[in-house]
């Protein structure tokens, strides 16, 4: 089993190599999902590959953001350089970029967790599309991982330690829609680490604990998972060294059949290196949240008693050179390095360099006495020097297409019979959510002469069998399973460019595309395209069973509906409705084939009003709709994402 370590900087690369990694993953200056990490220039990547290969360590380069049409010509020479450097694989989210790499370069492809591979069909699709490994969605449990690994026909990789996103992999639009910083473009602002109110409680509602899944290693080995991945390209080199060393040792112990996979000291060092609370993630159940605080406070030591300059801490493990920090509630009071500790009363008495107000504090160990030695070892490690890289091959072009202005269809996402009845006079197609009334909905559409499309569940580790001539799909695996039907793709498929696969009967474009992005796309894509023009965009979908339905309120007072589906997933919707009626004329001239309204969960009266307004292109109804909805937005159509 491979131990795969993060290298967000040159020092972290050194740390991973010193810690015994079998492989490292790192990003360059382009198209990486951690744009705020130091990352590597082309020449630095070349040096990193040489240093790793000299030690028998593989290097996987992350090119794992969504790629706009206008960026494909930039991506091509970048991939060409990576291929010529003999990187061992490229980690990819964008399915169009994946197609470009497969068709032009002799380099292995790993499907990023951002691609959302979460079913056997997804895995088979990824294999057929050119990937040799799938980095599985972090929301899967051991049984689901086992099923994919045994039946998917592709190598699998699983996250074992580090941060856990609240939203399902590759589907988060929260940061993007609120601040324009898209997680799909490597710029997540981490709204999941903010404070919210829900159902009368205020907490870090969306903040999961970090993964600490060492105890799952034997099960993953038995399943046949080929690689375990440590998250942390934005974390310190010391963290990378300790996590790599500990998990490498744990894998070796598990292979020998030992019961203790990690010593108490190894666990302690990992807790001190970075710790916002730990869980076994979805590998160990569904208890994945830690809502008291969102930052790393490192290793909790218990309630300390201040006597002015003397502080008693309820642990015997503190030693000279350790660092401690004190909190009262959410307030960080301060900390210091331990000098001359004295064991007393089952704890440790330390002297503070500043006077602490008398009373109780939560104490945390935030530095270990071994850290300076580790930092020195990393700094002394020298990476090889290499000749500067030239530019990769350019000249990547695609043929343009002509999309004539056409009479576009109007479709609606619907979740109830009453809403369907209200909109049928105004729409051409209904995307109907699976519920107990599918046959009634189908009959209503048939009688009205309107197309009926059954919308599959959003996330499907096991894709259901359905009897429908047309289906709306949300993953490549769903499209593969129902390739013999008419298939319509939702915006959750993240169509950013004309190379994006799979090819469907109709595909909604990503809601992150701007007006200019849409102009660029339609110059090169002659497929049937649909644009969402109304509705509450889904910001997150989560497997967390503890999130209550209701209204999530942020610190700015914005209100986000939370709804739970019958399959156990919770959906957080935007605080304002997307409203693009003003711009449909210009989209007509781009040759857009269809426009979609998302009316799920809305009152029939509002559904009818919206459907009529968009059917008639009646901007005079805009203010009435705005009053009914509370707030409307043009979303990314005008501002786009960076």
Q: Measuring CA to CA, how many Å separate 143 from each of 118, 140, 146, 213?
A: 12, 8, 5, 15
Backbone φ, ψ for residue 120 (5° rounding): -60, -40
Residue 30, pLDDT above cutoff 90: no
Q: What is the mean predicted confidence (pLDDT) over 87-93? A: 98
Q: What is the mean predicted confidence (pLDDT) over 303-327? A: 96
pLDDT at 390: 73
8 A C-beta contact, residue 539 and residue 173: yes
Backbone φ, ψ for residue 375 (5° rounding): -60, -40
pLDDT at 588: 97
Residue 548 has what DSSP assignment?
A: P
pLDDT at 642: 80
Q: What is the mean predicted confidence (pLDDT) over 449-460? A: 98
Q: What is the mean predicted confidence (pLDDT) over 473-485? A: 98
Query: How many whole angstroms separate alpha carbon 272 and alpha carbon 267?
Result: 9
What are the helix (H) ranges across 31-71? 42-54
Q: What is the mean predicted confidence (pLDDT) over 305-323? A: 95
pLDDT at 395: 77
Query: How many whole angstroms separate alpha carbon 558 and alpha carbon 567?
Result: 27
Residue 286, pLDDT above cutoff 80: yes
Quick count: other Cβ atoms within 10 Å of Cβ 483? Answer: 12
At 127-169, the pLDDT tens digits run: 999 999 999 999 999 999 999 999 999 999 999 999 999 999 8
Q: What is the mean predicted confidence (pLDDT) over 514-532? A: 98
Query: How many whole angstroms separate alpha carbon 9 and alpha carbon 383?
Result: 12
pLDDT at 31: 86
Torsion sign across C-alpha atoms 541, 545, 549, 553: negative
What does 148-212 look like in DSSP terms, one character per residue? Answer: HHHHS-SEEEEEEEE---SSPTT---HHHHHHS--GGGT----GGGS-EEETTEEE-TT-BPEEE
Angle between helices 142-151 and 120-128 (to 10 degrees): 40
Q: What is the mean predicted confidence (pLDDT) over 84-94? A: 96
What does 298-350 look like in DSSP terms, one character per residue? Answer: -EEEEEEEE-SSEEEES-S---TT-EEEEEETTEEEEEEE--S-EEETTEEEE
**Mean pLDDT for all residues in the chain:** 96
8 A C-beta contact, residue 476 and residue 95: yes
At 380-414, the pLDDT tens digits run: 999 998 887 777 788 799 999 999 998 899 999 99
Residue 608 DSSP SS3: helix
8 A C-beta contact, residue 463 and residue 480: no
Q: What is the mean predicted confidence (pLDDT) over 256-265? A: 97
Residue 587 DSSP SS3: helix
pLDDT at 388: 76
8 A C-beta contact, residue 572 and residue 168: no
Question: Residues 6 or more apart from 333 whose CB is under 8 A from it?
Answer: 325, 326, 327, 356, 361
Query: How many whole angstroms separate alpha carbon 203 and alpha carbon 219?
Result: 34
Residue 572, pLDDT above cutoff 70: yes
Question: Residues 6 or more apart from 640 whose CB is under 8 A from it?
Answer: 180, 512, 513, 514, 515, 516, 517
pLDDT at 33: 67
Q: What is the mean predicted confidence (pLDDT) over 427-432? A: 98
At 2-18, the pLDDT tens digits run: 999 999 999 999 999 99
Categorize the per-residue pLDDT at 609 as very low, low, confident or very high, splitting at 50, 70 and 90: very high
8 A C-beta contact, residue 59 and residue 48: yes
Q: pTM score, two decimals? A: 0.96
């Amino acid at each position: 089993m491979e131990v795969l370590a993060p290298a967000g900087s040159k020092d972290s690369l050194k740390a991973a190599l010193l810690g015994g990694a079998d492989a490292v993953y790192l990003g360059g200056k382009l198209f990486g999902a951690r744009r705020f990490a130091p990352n590597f220039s082309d020449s630095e990547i070349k040096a990193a590959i040489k240093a790793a290969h000299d030690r028998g360590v593989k290097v996987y380069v992350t090119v794992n953001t969504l790629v706009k049409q206008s960026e494909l010509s930039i991506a091509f020479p970048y991939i060409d350089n990576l291929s010529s450097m003999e990187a061992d694989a490229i980690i990819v989210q964008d399915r169009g970029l994946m197609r470009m790499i497969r068709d032009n370069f002799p380099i292995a492809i790993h499907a990023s967790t951002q691609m959302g591979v979460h079913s056997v069909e997804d895995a088979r699709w990824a294999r057929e599309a050119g990937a040799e490994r799938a980095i599985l969605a972090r929301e899967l449990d051991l049984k689901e991982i086992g099923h994919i690994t045994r039946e998917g026909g592709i190598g699998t990789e699983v996250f074992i330690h580090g941060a856990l996103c609240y939203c399902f992999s590759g589907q988060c639009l929260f940061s993007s829609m609120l601040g324009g910083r898209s997680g799909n473009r490597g710029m997540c602002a981490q709204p999941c680490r903010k404070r919210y109110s829900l159902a009368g409680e205020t907490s870090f509602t969306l903040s999961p604990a970090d993964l600490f899944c060492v105890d799952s290693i034997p099960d993953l080995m038995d399943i046949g998972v080929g690689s375990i991945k440590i998250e942390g390209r934005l974390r310190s080199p010391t963290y990378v060294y300790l996590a790599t060393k500990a998990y490498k040792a744990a894998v070796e112990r598990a292979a020998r059949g030992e019961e203790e996979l990690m010593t108490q000291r190894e666990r302690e060092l990992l807790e001190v290196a970075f710790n916002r609370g730990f869980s076994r993630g979805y590998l160990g159940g569904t208890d994945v949240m830690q809502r008291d605080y969102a930052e790393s406070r490192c290793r909790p030591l218990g309630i300390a008693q201040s006597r002015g300059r003397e502080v008693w801490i309820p642990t015997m493990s503190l030693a000279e050179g350790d660092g401690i920090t004190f909190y009262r509630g959410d307030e960080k009071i301060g900390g210091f390095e331990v000098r001359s500790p004295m064991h007393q009363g089952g704890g440790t008495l330390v002297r503070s360099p500043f006077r602490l107000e008398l009373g109780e504090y939560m104490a945390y160990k935030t530095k270990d006495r071994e850290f300076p030695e580790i930092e020195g070892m990393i700094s002394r490690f020298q990476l090889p020097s290499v000749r500067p890289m030239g530019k990769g091959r350019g000249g990547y072009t695609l043929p343009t297409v002509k999309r004539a202005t056409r009479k576009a269809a109007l479709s609606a996402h619907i979740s109830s019979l009453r809403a369907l009845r209200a909109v049928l006079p105004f729409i051409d197609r209904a995307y109907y959510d699976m519920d107990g009334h599918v046959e009634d909905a189908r009959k209503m559409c048939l009688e009205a002469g309107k197309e009926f499309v059954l919308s599959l569940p959003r996330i499907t580790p096991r894709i259901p069998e359905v009897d429908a001539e047309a289906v709306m799909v949300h993953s490549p695996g769903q499209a593969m399973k129902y390739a013999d039907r008419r298939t319509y793709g939702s915006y959750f498929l993240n169509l950013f460019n004309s190379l994006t696969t799979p090819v469907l009967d109709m595909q909604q474009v990503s809601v992150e595309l701007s007006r200019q992005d849409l102009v660029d796309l339609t110059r090169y894509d002659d497929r049937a395209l649909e644009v969402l023009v109304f509705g509450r965009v889904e910001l997150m979908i989560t497997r967390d069973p503890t999130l209550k339905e209701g209204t999530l309120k942020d610190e700015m007072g914005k209100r986000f509906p939370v709804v739970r589906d019958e399959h156990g997933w919770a959906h957080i919707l935007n605080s304002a409705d997307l409203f693009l009626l003003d711009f449909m004329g210009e989209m007509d001239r781009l040759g857009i084939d269809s426009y979609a309204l998302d009316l799920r969960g809305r009152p029939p009266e509002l559904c009818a009003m919206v459907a009529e307004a968009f059917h008639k292109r009646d901007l005079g109804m805009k203010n009435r709709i705005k009053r009914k909805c509370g707030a409307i937005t043009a979303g990314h159509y005008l501002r786009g994402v960076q």
